[in-house]
């Protein structure tokens, strides 16, 4: 039986202003979690926070934080209470063949997708803001496990995140804090639709590689819900592919 009582749980979701992060936050808000969301776009963050406040008395707040800015991360940590759940979701993508990679792209991708999480978790742990028994969910990607041309920096950043998660799970198991990774295949969000290479043709081409079709945000949300709940209390250090069967053929 899924235990969906999140009302007594303090949970932080990063990158909650769009796509998968917004979907996860909506679900948690419906289940009346004591939710804190963060994003870097004030307008979007205010709009979503207002919407959440109206439907959930337990909603905590939206905190503006560019995860590439250490000061913002420190403020974020200062402003939140001790967490029962943390979803590290903020991320960006890039399609650049290895031959054309630039220093700026590498730094942007790695800072957003990897380093920001190192620093956020470090500060949370240091200030004892992750409860014993808490669940940390990290959103990675199946990109780290295959060789899609043009994704080298993105895939490498997610690969780094996967390794980080394993070690973190091991270190935090002593405090009964669980760390699990979700590795989605392609889900239609702004991340995919706003890239330089997306066209209707490529989208339809892409969907042929997915036996069950492209993913929907809700598909990822259900898995994250399970990992945040106590129903997954015996899981840590796992990395779960959720990809409509993409990896069956690739």
Partner 1 sequence: MIKENVFLDQFRLLFDETDPSLITLDTKFKDLEEWNSLIILSLIVLCEDEFKIIISPNQIQNSKTVCDLIESLESNLK
Could you give the residue numbers annotated as active site?
154
Is 29 a residue that touches partner 1 (CB under 8 A)? no
Is 34 a residue that touches ligand NAP (CB under 6 A)? no
CA–CA dist 177, 29 (Å, integer): 22
Interacting positions 139-198 with partner 1 (CB under 8 A): 149-150, 196-197
**How many residues belong to the chain?**
250
What are the angstrom distances between the C-alpha of 183 and each of 116, 124, 145, 166, 216? Answer: 18, 24, 9, 14, 14
- Kindly write out the interface string for residues 111-140 of this chain, putting x where it contacts ligand NAP by CB under 6 A and - elsewhere: -x--------------------------x-
Is 190 a residue that touches ligand NAP (CB under 6 A)? yes
Interacting positions 65-104 with ligand NAP (CB under 6 A): 66-68, 89-93
Q: How far apart are the first and last CA of the chain?
A: 34
Is 39 a residue that touches ligand NAP (CB under 6 A)? yes
What are the angstrom distances between the C-alpha of 206 and each of 138, 192, 250? Answer: 25, 11, 12
Sheet holding 239-242, edge to edge: 61-64, 34-39, 10-14, 83-88, 130-139, 178-184, 239-242
Is 18 a residue that touches ligand NAP (CB under 6 A)? yes
**Least distance in Å: CB of 239 to partner 1?**
27
Is 208 a residue that touches partner 1 (CB under 8 A)? no
What 3-state class would DSSP assign to 150?
Answer: coil
What 3-state class would DSSP assign to 107?
Answer: helix
Of residues 21 and 62, the one with the C-beta less far from ligand NAP: 21
User: For residue 10, what is the enclosing H or E element?
Assistant: strand 10-14
Is 100 a residue that touches partner 1 (CB under 8 A)? yes
The partner in contact with residue 197, picked from partner 1, ligand NAP, none with C-beta cut-offs of 5 to 8 angstroms by kind, is partner 1
**Least distance in Å: CB of 109 to partner 1?**
14
Among 29, 141, 225, 232, binds ligand NAP (CB under 6 A): 141
Q: Which residues of 68-81 are buried (b: 16+ CB within 10 A; e: fewer)?
A: beeebbeebbeebe
Interface positions with partner 1 (CB under 8 A): 95-97, 99-100, 102, 149-150, 196-197, 199, 201-202
């Amino acid at each position: 039986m899924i235990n969906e009582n999140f009302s007594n749980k303090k949970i932080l979701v990063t990158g909650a202003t769009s796509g998968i992060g917004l979907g996860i936050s909506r679900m948690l808000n419906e289940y009346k979690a004591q939710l804190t969301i963060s994003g870097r776009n004030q307008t979007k963050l205010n709009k979503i926070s207002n919407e959440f406040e109206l439907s959930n008395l337990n909603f905590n707040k939206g905190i503006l934080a560019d995860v590439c800015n250490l000061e913002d991360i420190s403020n974020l940590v200062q402003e939140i209470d001790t967490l029962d759940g943390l979803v590290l979701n903020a991320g960006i993508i890039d399609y650049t063949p290895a031959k054309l990679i630039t220093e700026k792209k590498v730094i942007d991708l790695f800072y957003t997708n990897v380093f920001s999480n190192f620093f956020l978790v470090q500060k949370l742990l240091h200030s004892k803001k992750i409860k014993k028994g808490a669940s940390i969910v990290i959103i990675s990607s199946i990109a780290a496990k295959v060789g899609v041309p043009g994704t080298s920096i993105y895939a490498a950043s997610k690969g780094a995140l996967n390794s980080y998660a394993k070690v973190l799970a091991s270190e935090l198991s002593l405090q009964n804090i669980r760390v699990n990774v979700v590795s989605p295949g392609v889900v239609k969000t702004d991340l995919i639709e706003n890239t330089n290479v997306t066209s209707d043709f490529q989208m339809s081409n892409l969907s042929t590689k997915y036996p069950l079709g492209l993913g929907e945000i809700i598909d990822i949300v259900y898995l994250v819900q399970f990992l945040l709940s106590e129903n997954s209390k015996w899981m840590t250090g796992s990395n779960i592919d959720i990809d409509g069967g993409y990896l069956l053929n690739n």
